[in-house]
Amino acid sequence: QSVLTQSPSASGTPGQRVTISCSRGNSDIGSNTINWYRLVPGAAPKLLIYNNDQRPSGVPDRFSGSKSTASASLAISGLQSDDEGDYYCEAWDDSLNSVIFGGGTKLTVV
Amino acid sequence: EVHLVQSEVEVKKPGESLKISCKASGYSFTTFWIGWVRQIPGKGLESVGIVDPGDSYTTYSPSFRGRVTISVDKSINTTSLQWSSLRTSDTATYYCVRRPGGVGTYAWFDPWGQGTLVIVSS
């Protein structure tokens, strides 16, 4: 069972802006930073956002991250068909002393 | 350029042992922690554990503690994940990933290896 909670699915049309959220059930997400990854079949997972809102070089500025005490979000603007895939949030859990992932959100571009 | 190269597929029977490896190149191997992440077919990502290649200090996620062993061979820039007795439930893709920042917050996984598919079936 995932310790971080994500909606199982999200969808949008080309050019639209979509947001994927990541929370921690009934409690705040805490002060630890959130990272975001995308998985597509046949390819290695890719880092999209690190430390809540930082974009690695090579990731388009259409991707942005934000975080409050309650939850974290990944926003994708100017949606493209290539953006389809499974998106995961990730954080460090101090009580488990380990990395935790969200359950993943499957993004479909219709 | 940073690369993490893994073997592609391993097919084993329940009860057998297995060691899969991940060879790093393109950076100073002992400078960054490395993690292993599991993805069961059709399921999400789970962290197995992360290791400091400098001193081999390893921290395991609770679900994997005692089930697997992560090791390092600095002489060949390689990290390994091994099982002494496989179960069918170990069937999954296992990714090795570099972890800038190491343990704790302000750390992340990048880049990822291409994954090793482990199939455990009688």
Q: What is the pLDDT of residues A41-72, one digit of tens each?
A: 989 999 999 999 999 999 999 999 999 888 99
Q: Does A106 touch chain B (CB under 8 A)?
A: no
Q: Does B80 touch chain A (CB under 8 A)?
A: no
Q: Does A45 touch chain B (CB under 8 A)?
A: yes
Contact A45, B112 (CB under 8 A): yes
Q: What is the largest CA-CA distance in chain A?
A: 41
d(CA A63, CA A91): 18
Of A44, A56, A97, the CB nearest to B114: A44
Q: Does B46 touch chain A (CB under 8 A)?
A: yes
pLDDT of residue A2: 58
Contact A6, A103 (CB under 8 A): yes
Q: What is the pLDDT of residues B48-67, one digit of tens each?
A: 999 999 999 999 999 999 99
Per 3-state DSSP, chain B is made up of helix, strand and coil in percentages (nearest 5) of: 5, 50, 45
- Distance from chain centroid for Cα B71: 9
Contact B38, B113 (CB under 8 A): no
Handedness of CA B92, B111, B100, A17 (dihedral sign): negative
Place B7 in a pLDDT band, splitting at 50, 70 and 90: confident
- The three-state secondary structure class of B119 is strand
Among residues of chain B, what percentage have pLDDT more than 70?
Answer: 100
Tokens representing A70 are: 């309650």
pLDDT of residue A70: 83
Q: Do A37 and B109 touch (CB under 8 A)?
A: yes
Average pLDDT over residues B28-48: 96
Q: Do A31 and B105 touch (CB under 8 A)?
A: yes
Residue of A4, A82, A95 lying closest to A46 (CA atoms): A82
pLDDT of residue B81: 98
pLDDT of residue A26: 63
Of A39, A50, A101, the CB nearest to B47: A101
Contact B119, B8 (CB under 8 A): no
Q: What is the pLDDT of residues B85-94, one digit of tens each?
A: 999 999 999 9
Residues of chain A with pLDDT under 50: none
DSSP secondary structure letter of residue B43: S
Of B47, B104, B113, the CB nearest to A100: B47
Q: Do A99 and B61 touch (CB under 8 A)?
A: yes
